Structure 1
């Protein structure tokens, strides 16, 4: 397995497909998944002539399960170390959900010197938690419920979570048991402690200042029926901060649209990259 070792000694697993001389695209996954969720995109874009890279966030997938440092700052720093150790330039960053937070925090802490474009997909910025200053966010008890379900019986919780995640509770939805089983498999590969810490990281991290550092072409893509990361407190707020961002909304789109709308998403992302 290919890994890098971060400055705090954590081994981060990554996949690296396509030509090493091609422009790189880095895909950052959502909670509680792994790099495997991006396999279809990695194959598609590698076949389009790009170098495609995806890593397992610390305490997720095949990366080390660590007790400390499961924070958004560290996720951003891990991404920076991956980019620097592979000596990547002109990178296209693509982050889904928590991965969108990771990408955003990377830009806030490390700048865009190695970055060409950014795509935030169903992403958590600028802030998921409801506060006086962020009334469209979700109340803390929602995230307490996620913590409780994950801690008490994460196997069952992950299975149940696939229903709203992919919009399978909507009229006319075609349920894929394969997608549900794959979500469960990837989730169960991760470490419980890190996954619990990550809930705080994705829900309580404030990305307003990070988004102000965006100075590269940016795509903000979101489903308007996202039941996990509601569009109002996320994408619609992000594009008010990143003034040059391109907003693309999938009507009726769910949170897992990179899989449920795979061909459409791949085409839209390719159009953005090539624009």
Structure 2
């Protein structure tokens, strides 16, 4: 099925699949058209599932999905966003157009088709923009996992959003002064009380390694971009999974609205699940992902 309504055209700046958007540079590196090296993991064989990581996190976050699912007939692929993990830190390109083009580079370089894309948190923005810029030729199914779409900013037509000044205050007074300290202070609501300190430290270590340029620019893009029109144009089977205890992206502001905007989307609400449900509710999540990817 096509993302774009009949008679409409893709954005000229993005182009359609089939152009050379990226190529495998060596081993586990894909080079984009603007010279950025993206590190990726590629485990298993079968129908491909591409995992897109949350804000400031890396492809490591998907370890507890990729390992079991790769043993159950799925090819599991994840990559580090530019400025994250083992990918290049170019100091540019943290807008959603460029990040969507990075996803296109990965899909193109590995020639992936019939793909299920699982997008956590900020990656819901990248995935939505990818579909607007590149179409749905390579994509079969979508999973929006604890998304931050459709629109976080408070505006006259989005009165339950958050004031721009609040976002800017957090960036200037916490991220840019003591990002590791802010992570430590806010780690526990990301998980559940039963989550081990070692698991929390593992997650924070990924985030502490993120480029500060990426931390700020990605956050600024995430908190200011309106994806409502783009979500309404999606025409693919879509599963939205969200926890009702998500402090980072409250269900009523994000996941429920996202599911309502995408025609035919199915919303699964995990009771008691936080934003880090990929580690706190991994058995249920993995079962849902396996069933959906093989549907």
With structure 1 as the length reference, what TM-score do the two structures score?
Answer: 0.93
Residues 26 and 54 in structure 1, CA contact (< 8 A), matched pair in contact too: yes
1:210 to 215, 218, 230: 230
Is 1:271 aligned with 2:291?
yes
1:174 to 168, 178, 194: 194
For the aligned residues, what is the CA RMSD?
Answer: 1.4
Q: For residue 272 of structure 1, give the secondary structure of its aligned residue in structure 2.
A: helix
**Are 1:151 and 2:176 an aligned pair?**
yes
1: distance between equivalents of 2:194 and 2:242? 20
The answer as to whether partners of 2:114 and 2:138 remain within 8 angstroms in 1 is yes
* Higher mean C-alpha deviation, range 25-34 or range 249-258: 249-258
Where do 1:1-275 residues align within 5 Å?
A: 2-19=28-45, 22-148=46-172, 149-166=174-191, 168=192, 173-275=193-295
The runs of at least 4 consecutive aligned structure 1 residues that moved more than 3 Å come to none
Q: Is the 8 A contact 1:60 1:195 kept in 2?
A: no
**Structure with the largest fraction of helix:** 1
Q: Residue 36 of structure 1: CA displacement?
A: 0.2
- Unpaired segments of 5 or more residues in structure 1? none
Q: Does the aligned pair in 2 maintain the 1:108–1:211 contact within 8 Å?
A: no
Shift of residue 124, structure 1, vs aligned partner: 1.0
Secondary structure at 1:24's aligned position in 2? strand
CA contact 1:65–1:190 (8 Å) conserved in 2: no
2:14 corresponds to which residue? none
CA contact (8 A) 1:126 1:234 kept: yes
Q: Note the alpha carbon deviations across 1:61-90, whole angstroms, 9 max, x for none.
A: 111112221111111110011101111100
Cα deviation, residue 160, structure 1: 1.9
- Check conservation: 1:14, 1:35, Cα contact below 8 A: yes
Structure 1's 57 and 86: CA in aligned 2 closer, same or farther, altered over 3 A?
A: same
* Alignment partners' CA distance in 2, 1:273 and 1:24: 8
Q: Distance in 1 between matches of 2:233 and 2:86?
A: 31
> In structure 1, how many angstroms separate the alpha carbons of the residues matched to 2:35 and 2:218?
19
After superposing the two structures, state which structure 1 stretch, 200-209 or 36-45, moved more: 200-209
After TM superposition, give the deviation of residue 272 of structure 1 in Å. Answer: 2.1
Gaps of 5+ in 2: 1-26
Verify the 8 A CA contact 2:234 2:263 in the aligned structure 1.
no
Deviation at 1:106, TM superposition (A): 0.9
TM-score by structure 2 length?
A: 0.87
